[in-house]
């Protein structure tokens, strides 16, 4: 999957193309669009350069930073105008657009929603394995692309989990210590517990003390070890 990240601006617009292959992020290209002159000419240059980048690298998606209103409202207005030029270029090219807030991008890249510019540059360089540092505007754009790739991968994994057929599952510890689902092991454990209950003469007490649903959950417990919810006593009643 190839994503174009854009950090919009009317004076300097950062852009970066990142591709994910086998869960590895690869830097494709990046740079900064610098515009001078009246506002209309600057927006026209941002629009034209964005069109050219989309044509040259053919990304499947554009990851764009959302408008952030800080202390300067005029800066937010100018940012929205630059975003409009980029959105029009992406729409004409038929490329989908995903938007993320600056905090979401910083969390995805640096793990901190208030990361500084220098920290973002360092983390982008490490994640992409770049030999040299990148400009601040380009680093923000590459961070937007990385944010979308991480979000897309996580969303796809959740969708795959939800699409799997539902049924009774049992987590059993493997020899390495981690827990894995083993349907065959679950059935073997249930049969083994039934045989031991019958052999110990406690099956009748087991049925009397526990309802059917609870008996099933106990016989198909999460542990592969053989345990009993009670210890048979000479009086024929289980001890809790």
* pLDDT (tens digit per residue) in 155-194: 766 666 666 655 545 444 544 444 454 556 666 666 766 6
Distance from chain centroid for Cα 147: 9
- Determine the average pLDDT of the residues in 136-143: 93
Q: Residues, the chain, total?
A: 240
* Calpha distance 135→165 (Å, rounded): 48
Inter-axis angle of helices 102-110 and 136-163, nearest 10: 80
Task: Name the more confident of 17 and 161.
Answer: 17
pLDDT at 113: 84
* Calpha distance 228→237 (Å, rounded): 13
Domains, the chain: 2-158 (3.30.420.10), 170-240 (no CATH)
Residue 228 main-chain phi, psi, to 5 deg: -125, 145
The pLDDT-based confidence of 226 (bands split at 50, 70, 90) is: very low
The pLDDT-based confidence of 201 (bands split at 50, 70, 90) is: low
Task: Name the more confident of 66 and 171.
Answer: 66
pLDDT at 42: 93
Q: Where would I find the beta strands (DSSP E) of the chain? A: 2-7, 12-21, 24-34, 61-65, 96-100, 171-173, 179-181
Whether 228 has a pLDDT exceeding 50, the answer reads no
Residue 73 main-chain phi, psi, to 5 deg: -70, -35
Catalytic residues: 7, 65, 137
pLDDT at 238: 44
Name the one residue in this structure whose structure tokens are 């994910």. 20
pLDDT at 102: 87
Whether residue 192 contacts residue 226, with contact meaning beta carbons closer than 8 Å, is answered with yes
Partnered with residue 98 across adjacent β-strands are 63
Q: Is 51 helix (H, G, I), strand (E, B) or coil?
A: helix
Residue 131 is given by DSSP the state: S
Whether residue 40 contacts residue 33, with contact meaning beta carbons closer than 8 Å, is answered with no
Distance from chain centroid for Cα 191: 40
Question: Mean pLDDT score of the chain, rounded to an integer?
Answer: 77
* Calpha distance 165→21 (Å, rounded): 28
* Calpha distance 181→195 (Å, rounded): 23
Neighbours of 30 (CB within 10 A): 24
Residue 164 is given by DSSP the state: S
Whether 222 has a pLDDT exceeding 60, the answer reads no
pLDDT at 203: 47
The pLDDT-based confidence of 225 (bands split at 50, 70, 90) is: very low
Task: Name the more confident of 172 and 109.
Answer: 109
Residue 165 is given by DSSP the state: P
């Amino acid at each position: 999957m190839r994503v174009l990240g854009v950090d919009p601006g009317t004076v300097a617009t950062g852009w970066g193309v990142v591709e994910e292959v086998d869960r590895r992020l690869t830097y494709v290209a990046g740079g900064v669009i610098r515009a001078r002159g009246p506002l209309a000419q600057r927006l026209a240059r941002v629009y034209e350069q964005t069109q050219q980048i989309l044509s040259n690298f053919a990304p499947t998606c554009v990851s764009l930073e959302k408008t952030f209103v800080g202390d300067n409202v005029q800066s937010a207005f100018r940012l929205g105008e630059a975003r409009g030029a980029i959105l029009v270029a992406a729409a004409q090219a038929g490329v989908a657009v995903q938007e993320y807030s600056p905090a979401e991008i910083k969390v995805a890249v640096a793990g901190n929603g208030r990361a500084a510019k220098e920290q973002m540059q360092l983390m982008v360089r490490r994640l992409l394995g770049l030999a040299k540092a990148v400009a601040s505007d380009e680093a923000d754009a590459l961070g937007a692309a990385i944010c979308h790739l991480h979000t897309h991968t996580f969303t796809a994994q959740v969708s795959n989990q939800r699409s799997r057929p539902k049924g009774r599952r049992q987590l059993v510890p493997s020899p390495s210590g981690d827990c894995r689902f083993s349907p065959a092991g679950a059935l073997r454990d249930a049969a083994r517990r039934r045989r031991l209950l019958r052999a110990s003469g406690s099956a009748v007490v087991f049925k009397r003390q526990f309802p059917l649903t609870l008996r099933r959950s106990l016989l198909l417990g999460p542990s592969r070890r053989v345990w009993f919810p009670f210890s048979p006593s000479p009086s024929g009643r289980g001890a809790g």
